[in-house]
Structures are given as C-alpha cells and as structure tokens.
Amino acid sequence: MPSFSFDAQVTAALFERDGAVFALGDGTVRFEDGHYDAVHDGAALCAAVHPSGEGLVTGGDDGQVIWSRKGEAGLLAKSTRSQWIDSLDASPETKLIAFSSGRTLSVIDATDAHFRRDFDHERTVAAVAFDPKGRRIACATYGGAALWYARIEQQKPTMLKWGGSHTHVAWSPDGAFVLTAMQDNQLHGWRLKDAKDLRMGGYPSKVRSLAFLSNGQLMATSGAQGAVLWPFVGANGPMGREATEIGYDENAMVNLVAAQPKGPRLAAGLTDGRVWVADPSAQGLDFVKADRGPPIVALALSPDGRRVAWADEDGRAGVTEA
C-alpha cells in the first residue's frame, strides 16, 4: 500500500471519490496516486471532500477557499476580511460549502458561483458542521453553539448556550443532537427538541475528534487511553448512560478517531504513532500500523470501511487496508 514522507505536517487526510488525499501545511494537496496541487500561499488549515465527491475543498491562512482536483485547482471564495480560514464543511446533499474566518460564517454553493451568505458572531467561530440534510449549520464558538439555516439571508441564530470555549462541533446522524468538544477536556451536547443539556466529562485530555458509527447508535471520541464510546440509542441518546472504552493502553492516548456513520468499524490513531481498526461489537484490535513513532495527526476511514489513511506529526503518511 502507498506510503509517503512529506516535507510538511499533514493538516487532513480524507477519502475523495478516487482514493486518499492529503492537505498539507505547505499549502499543497497530494493525492495517493502521486498527483499534487500547490494551492495556498501558506498553509492549508482545514479541508473537506468537495460536495461532488471529487477532490478536496481546502481553506488556507491566505484567506482562500480552493477546490483541488487532480491537476486542477480553482478559487471558490475568499474570507470577508482577508483572515485565514479556520474551519470548513461541505454537504453532498445540498452542494453547499460552509467556512469560518474569525467571527464570520460564510456559505457558498458549489453549483452557483453567485450564491453567498455571511453570518457574524460575537466571538470567533472555531468549527462548523452541516446537519445530515445539509440545511442547517452548527458553529462552535465561545459560550456554546450557534445554529443557522444555510440559505436564509436575514436571520438570527438559535443559540445553544454552555459556558466555556467550544472547539469542535458535530450533529448526530439523525439530526437530533448537536455535540461539541471543549477546551477543558470534556464534551457538551444538546437535544434539539427541548435544548436539554448533555454533560459528557471525565476525559484525561482534550477531545480532538469524534465520529459516529453503527447506524448512528455509537459515538466514538479521542481524549483517553482508549476510544470512548457513547450510546445514542433512543430519544435520550447518552443521557443517564455511561460511556464504555475499547483499546485501552496505559502507555498511549487515542489522539484521533474516524468512522462512517452507517458502518460498524472504527479507526483510532494513537499518540505513539500506531493505528488500529476495530468493530466494537467484536473482540480485538487490528493494528494496521503497528510500529511506534510520532503522534498520529490525521486519520480517515474510507466510505466502504476497507482502507485507512493516516499521517503522523513528522509528515510520514500512508494508506493501508483496514
């Protein structure tokens, strides 16, 4: 399987329509078959698969949002105040792309170059995520999460409030819950039908990633010696329930997790450079990268759950069978 040694740290590893692709801190996008595009004047800070499934959309510290395909790259948008792009997400359902720069959330349409919406917040937007239908966007910011309708121009957001700095955001696959990771080693969540809070703590370190799997019935997170699994069965989700943990290792932490919402398989990248794949309903871990090294900083599981793309802190990367 392909392996790489890049001269820059990898910002993101993802699977587009034809295979694995990496966005790098040197502003390049590199495909597993050897194609690469030099797209940003500076670092690529965030990335998502284009709504078409072809290539990546990246945001850079040059304030530009770029669509990279093999041998071809084009400018999609610029930030409103020439600020770097902090985060982005893309919806294959509605063909919309959302990105944040400073306090502004921007929405563009991959099929309509003239469509754009800009929504301002009181504080910096750390992360953005589309709901499963691609119609609403959640923004993680200081003090909670702001929910916006993607296409409506004049509106006020629905605010989900919880004190502290929220650094990551995600929707449950059924659209019933919004979850955030926080700066202080915990998660927070809200059930949308009544805005009821979910407090999800007990982590020994900051939660850097979360992923849903098993038809949305489990949510896995990083931030502990194993992958933490929260149950999302029924209308109450994890309310009143305890989390479980798989892959516990007292000598390493799970730095990243990756999964597919409908699939049963979970991938985990560790702080000691190893990568494993497991089915939480079965026994054992399959170490697809067993050698130790620098921490894993980028991780993705292919849509069919059969391949893993990873990259470590020193720019080494690979694609392997899961």
Q: Residue 235's pLDDT band (boundaries 50, 70, 90)?
A: confident
Q: Residue 307's pLDDT band (boundaries 50, 70, 90)?
A: very high
Mean pLDDT of the chain: 96
Structure tokens of 318? 């690979």
Q: Comparing C-alpha atoms, which of 230, 197, 237 is closest to residue 213?
A: 230
pLDDT of residue 317: 98
Beta strand segments in 70-217, E? 72-78, 87-91, 96-101, 104-109, 112-120, 125-130, 136-149, 158-171, 177-182, 187-191, 196-200, 210-213
pLDDT of residue 71: 81
Structure tokens of 50? 């284009």
Element (H, E) at 44: strand 44-49
Q: How far out from the chain centre does Cα 285 lie?
A: 23
The percent of residues in the chain predicted with pLDDT above 70, rounded, is 100
Residue 231 reports pLDDT greater than 90: yes
Segment 1-11, tens digit of pLDDT: 789 999 999 99
pLDDT of residue 82: 79
Segment 68-115, tens digit of pLDDT: 998 899 999 999 887 999 999 999 999 999 999 999 999 999 999 999
d(CA 309, CA 318): 6
d(CA 266, CA 281): 11
Q: What is the pTM of this model?
A: 0.96
Region 219-243: mean pLDDT is 93
pLDDT of residue 240: 84
d(CA 121, CA 213): 32
Segment 196-222, tens digit of pLDDT: 999 898 999 999 999 999 999 999 999
Region 248-261: mean pLDDT is 96
Q: Residue 267's pLDDT band (boundaries 50, 70, 90)?
A: very high
∠ CA 3-265-256, nearest 5°, is 60
d(CA 182, CA 173): 20
pLDDT of residue 236: 86
pLDDT of residue 57: 98
Q: Residue 172's pLDDT band (boundaries 50, 70, 90)?
A: very high
Residue 248 reports pLDDT greater than 80: yes
d(CA 107, CA 117): 5
pLDDT of residue 143: 97
Region 103-128: mean pLDDT is 97
What do you get for the CA distance between the two ends of the chain, in Å? 11
Name residue, tokens 């494993």: 276
Segment 25-66, tens digit of pLDDT: 999 999 999 999 999 999 999 999 999 999 999 999 999 999
Backbone angles phi, psi at 127, to 5 degrees: -160, 150
SS3 content of the chain, % helix, strand, coil (to 5): 0, 55, 45
pLDDT of residue 81: 83
Q: Which residues pair with 278 in a beta bridge?
A: 266
Segments making up each domain of the chain, as ranges = 206-322
Structure tokens of 42? 């500076």
CATH class in words for 206-322: mainly beta
d(CA 195, CA 274): 38
